[in-house]
Amino acid sequence: MSALAWAVVALGVGVVVVRRRSLAVGLVTGQALLLAAVALGEGGSFDAAIAAAALVLRGIRLAALLLFLVRRTRESRPVRAGVAPLARAAAGVALALALIWLIPPIGLDSMAAERATLSLVAIGLVTAATRRATLFQVLGIVLVENGLALAALSLPGSSSLAIELGVAIDLLLIAVVAGVFHERIFAEFGAGDSAALRSLRDN
């Protein structure tokens, strides 16, 4: 469990530093598959099988949607992030350490799962905050949700399958809406670059 959890975090760090959108989509899809493995590793119960299936389906659908968007909005060169890759990774690690230090034990199955959850939330927040590319900001949300999926899988006792499915459906809906915006922003400004979205200011 702990090795799988840390592998999910390592893939998350990859999303913070890579330049290519398609590679980052591959990394979050890999996370979803690893999370499904975590779910199956929890035991062969019906709930675990459903959770694993939901994670795999969600991961594949997200990957299909995001890769479709990457194809439809090809850029001559990747959108530059405002912060260098190493600085982004350092910020992610620093925020992860701060969260682990600040937040008391959550009560998950293992300390590794708790730390991996908080690390993924931190990395997701840093990705959304430091990447200018709109698609990477969506991936930041997916990273946070993957961290929370790991926490849900590591809850002691049973968790509510209905709630987990609802959360997964919500994430897909958000990704679809973000996709609509990403395409239109690309068409309007010539790049999926959130830095172009700076016209709304107070007088």
Partner 1 sequence: MTTRELLAILVLVAPLAGILVAAVVPREPLVRAETAVAVVTALAAAAVAVVALAEPGHRDLGRWIVLDPAGGLLVGVIGAVGLASALMSRPFLTGRHASLFRPHRADRIYWATLFAFWAVLLAVPLAGNLGAAWIAIEATTAASALLVGFSGRGRALEAGWKYLILTSLGLGVALLGLLMLEAAAGGGGLETLTWRSLPHTDLNRETALVAYVLLLAGLAAKIGWAPVHNWLPDAHSEAPAPVSALLSAALLPAVLLVAWRSQQALAPTIGERTSRGVLVGFGLVSLAVAVPFLWRPQAWKRLLAYSSLEHMGVIGLGIGFGGPLALAGVAIHIAGHAIAKALGFYAAAPLLAHDPRAAGHAVGGIGRTEPSLGASLGISLGALAGLPPSPLFVSEVLIVAGGFQVGRPWAAAAAAVLLALGFLGLAHALVDTVVGRPRGRDRHPPTGLRSVRTLTAIAVPLLLALTAAALWLPDSAVVDGLLRGLG
Closest approach of Cβ 79 to partner 1, in Å?
Answer: 14
Instruction: Tell which one of 58, 103, 112, 193 touches partner 1 (CB under 8 A).
Output: 103
Q: Which of the ranges 4-12, 49-57, 80-88, 148-156 carries the binding residues for partner 1, by CB under 8 A?
A: 148-156
Residue 56 · residue 36 · CB < 8 Å: yes
Q: What secondary structure letter does DSSP report for 156?
A: S
Please list the alpha-helical segments (H only) found in 76-153.
Answer: 85-102, 111-130, 134-153
Closest approach of Cβ 184 to partner 1, in Å?
Answer: 6
Residue 52 · residue 44 · CB < 8 Å: no
Determine how many CB atoms are found less than 10 A away from the CB of residue 201: 5
Q: What length does the chain have?
A: 203
Q: Which of the ranges 9-17, 54-62, 70-78, 139-147 carries the binding residues for partner 1, by CB under 8 A?
A: 139-147
Q: What secondary structure letter does DSSP report for 81?
A: P
Q: Whole-angstrom Cα distance, residue 199 to residue 115?
A: 39
Closest approach of Cβ 124 to partner 1, in Å?
Answer: 7
Beta-ladder partners of 193: 133
Instruction: Tell which one of 25, 27, 51, 128 touches partner 1 (CB under 8 A).
Output: 128
Q: Which of the ranges 18-26, 64-72, 83-91, 136-144 carries the binding residues for partner 1, by CB under 8 A?
A: 136-144
Q: Whole-angstrom Cα distance, residue 21 to residue 8?
A: 18
Contacting residues toward partner 1, per CB under 8 A: 103-108, 117, 121, 124-125, 128, 134, 137-138, 140-141, 144-145, 147-148, 151-152, 155-160, 162-163, 166-167, 170, 173-174, 176-178, 180-181, 184-185, 188-189, 194, 197-200, 202-203
